[in-house]
Amino acid sequence: MNPTLKLSGLTLRVRNLEAQLAFYRDLLGMQAVSQEGNRTDLALSGGEFTLRLVHVPSAPLRPQSTLGLYHFALLLPSRPALAAVFRRLLEGEYPNFQGASDHGVSEALYLADPEGNGIELYRDRPRAQWPGQGQKVEMYTRPLDLEQLLAEAPHSTGLDAQTTFGHIHLHVADLDQAEQFFTGLGMQVTQRDYPGARFLAADGYHHHVGSNLWARGRTAPPESTGLSEYRLAIRDRPSQSLSDPNGITVHVDRL
């Protein structure tokens, strides 16, 4: 399929650069591809997305469950690839593992980086197996059998080189406002009956963007750590920079 939209990068404001590099570079296996001033860009050898870390030692640490990032999600190309990075987290005794779920459309692991930024590592099931009808999906949350998952990978590795930036999930103040913004970027609602959340996507995907009300409108101090920008590419759309409903910069590139 020739996509009309893809997520291509995000920027995190961080306080402790070395701790973040120990996680993203040394544990997950990303490579530092450039460094200029207080900015360090990380990527995988497949070049599917870029993670930029902006080092601001004085930044207030963002409180959890405040408007902004809920998690960003990295899509592994296969179940064995997901299992291998899970085994690496276990072998490294990584302390910020938060759980695992079967969502019908996907199998997902949840964790946080050393400064509390939420991350989902997941693999998709084949589209023919997704629950739902037509353009509407019926994602759910059920326990994931982690022992069964680990059986897929006898050895641990970092992120597979072909891992992509699969979706982003945001705490927002108003679901309708978020829907209006993202449909303006060519997405359609794929599920609106998940409690307190709404999901949107292009190209028949289950979701490129999730939004939820679970932060209950709480805000973080200005210039806190966490998500400051994200980037997506859209076919036949001029390059521009926008502000999403949380005031976070969204860079749009022509795909």
- pTM, to two decimals: 0.98
Q: Domain 5-254, what fold?
A: 2,3-Dihydroxybiphenyl 1,2-Dioxygenase; domain 1 (3.10.180)
Flag whether pLDDT at 1 surpasses 90.
Answer: no
Percent of the chain with pLDDT over 70: 100
What is the band of 143 on the pLDDT scale with cuts at 50, 70, 90? Answer: very high
Q: Could you give the CA distance from residue 174 to residue 225 in angstroms, rounded to a whole number?
A: 23
According to the model, what pLDDT value does residue 61 have?
A: 97
pLDDT, averaged across the chain: 97
According to the model, what pLDDT value does residue 136 have?
A: 86
Task: Report phi then psi at 111, rounded to 5.
Answer: -155, 175
What SS3 string covers 58-124?
CCCCCCCCCCEEEEEEEECCCHHHHHHHHHHHHHCCCCCEEEEEECCCEEEEEEECCCCCEEEEEEE
The answer to which of 90-94, 136-140, 224-228, 249-253 has the lowest mean pLDDT is 136-140
- Burial-class residue 25 by CB neighbours within 10 Å (0-12, 13-18, 19+): middle
- Residue among 71, 123, 137, 62 at smallest CA distance from 98: 71
Domain boundaries, the chain: 5-254
Mean pLDDT of 17-37: 98
Whether the CA torsion 153, 123, 225, 8 is positive or negative: it is positive
Q: Could you give the CA distance from residue 100 to residue 143 in angstroms, rounded to a whole number?
A: 7
What is the band of 134 on the pLDDT scale with cuts at 50, 70, 90? Answer: confident
Q: Could you give the CA distance from residue 155 to residue 157 in angstroms, rounded to a whole number?
A: 7
